[in-house]
Amino acid sequence: MGNASSNYNQNPEPGDLIEISRGGYQHWAVYVGDGYVVHLTRASGFRRLFSPLNVNGLVRKEKLQDIVGRADWKVKNILDNEYRPRPVDVIVREACALEGRQMPYNIATRNCERFATELRYGKQSQQNPEPGDLIEIFRGGYQHWAVYVGDGYVVHLTVASDVRGSSSNSLSSVPNKKALVKKEKLQDVAGTDEWKINNILDSDSCPRPVDVIVRKACALVGRKLPYFLSSHNCEHFATELRYGWPESRQVLKVLGFAFSVGLIVLIFVCPGPKGRLLPKKRLW
């Protein structure tokens, strides 16, 4: 071990958070197994805590002993008493998928501790959803939608591309296929993605009673349903549960763009089921 810290008698497990003492501050990393950690570091390296406040950050995968050097470190799953950790395979997969990614680094709002805790526990929003609320999750090039049913759980219609860390990252990349209705922890579905409560049609439509929304959502768990981007996507599914009829603003935006560039003809050539792009009837 050379000059490495004596803390190597600890035995971190994959998914554990590692706290490294750096004098006046702590650096944080996620242990991913085989002696390696993934961590967010300033691209220019470690200097002093507040120099500067906003810099470029880089996600690295390195040997724990190389990062620690002579410093003290310990396993510290700091929020385990407040939040349920995500499955280990999810933590490790998402951490490793971020290796080499450049992202903003801000000591106050987007630092190494925030990065590590979001990987272990998922993004903790300051919002407090109520049963029946619609949850909009930002997946880069598109939004995934779910219905909050209480106790930290959501019900959502999902295909492979709606899973955090999948290879697909755009609305247009999902072909027509069957989808599965799942009930999962919101923190597991969102992962490190941003999310918000967005009862998108409340200004136009009256929501159904909360008990009806939750009961119907939970009754659909485990069902396989048709999935079409134009007419039966996750937003259609969520809005129908809340309002009793489906609508997808994402699809409307895509259609508006297509019309503006003269591509609307292609959409009419390839309509959704029974020629409906935005069905006003029930999807199940």
- Give catalytic residues, as residue numbers: 144, 156, 234
User: Residue 136 CB: number of other CB atoms within 10 A?
Assistant: 19
Place of tokens 């290796």: 99
Nearest to 188 by CA among 217, 213, 162, 222: 162
Could you tell me which residues are beta bridge partners of residue 18?
29, 75
Supply the DSSP symbol for 34.
T
Sign of CA dihedral 254, 258, 260, 261: positive
Distance CA 217, CA 143 (A): 19
Closest alpha carbon to 95 in 22, 36, 144:
36
Please tell me whether residue 264 adopts helix, strand or coil conformation. helix
Nearest C-alpha neighbor of 230 from the set 168, 169, 174: 174
Distance CA 246, CA 235 (A): 8
Residue found under tokens 């950050």: 57
